[in-house]
């Protein structure tokens, strides 16, 4: 059986997007539009870890570059209910 030649379909065509049409996300606390890449660190017990070893898991979020508030929706699914109650990591 001879494999069929690919015709170039499915290689994705590039679409030009004007970023002027995109919404700029601003901090709801201070109206700033600059964000800093931040991480929440979760400590996973060896008892529930797939590798059987204790693990630190980084969860990427964006926080306001002015007031530090984490952007809305970034904490969804992270297991952190309220950013003002972030647990400290005792190492």
Q: What are the pLDDT digits (tens) for 3-61?
A: 655 555 556 788 898 999 999 999 999 999 999 998 989 899 999 988 899 999 998 88
What residue ranges in the chain does DSSP mark as E strands? Answer: 35-44, 55-64
Domain boundaries, the chain: 23-74
Report the predicted TM-score, pTM, of the whole model to 2 decimal places: 0.60
Gap between the Cα atoms of 32 and 23, Å rounded: 14
Gap between the Cα atoms of 81 and 18, Å rounded: 36
| Residue 40 tokens, joined | 């929440």
Phi, psi values for residue 44, rounded to 5°: -100, 125
| Residue 86 tokens, joined | 């972030």
């Amino acid at each position: 059986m001879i494999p069929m030649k690919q015709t170039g379909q499915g290689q994705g065509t590039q679409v030009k997007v004007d970023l002027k049409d995109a919404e700029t996300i601003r901090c709801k606390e201070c109206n700033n539009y600059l964000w800093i890449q931040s991480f929440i660190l979760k400590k996973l017990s060896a008892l529930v870890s797939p590798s059987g070893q204790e693990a630190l898991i980084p969860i990427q979020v964006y926080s306001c570059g002015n007031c530090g508030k984490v952007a809305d929706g970034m904490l969804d699914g992270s297991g952190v209910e309220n950013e003002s109650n972030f647990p400290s990591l005792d190492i």
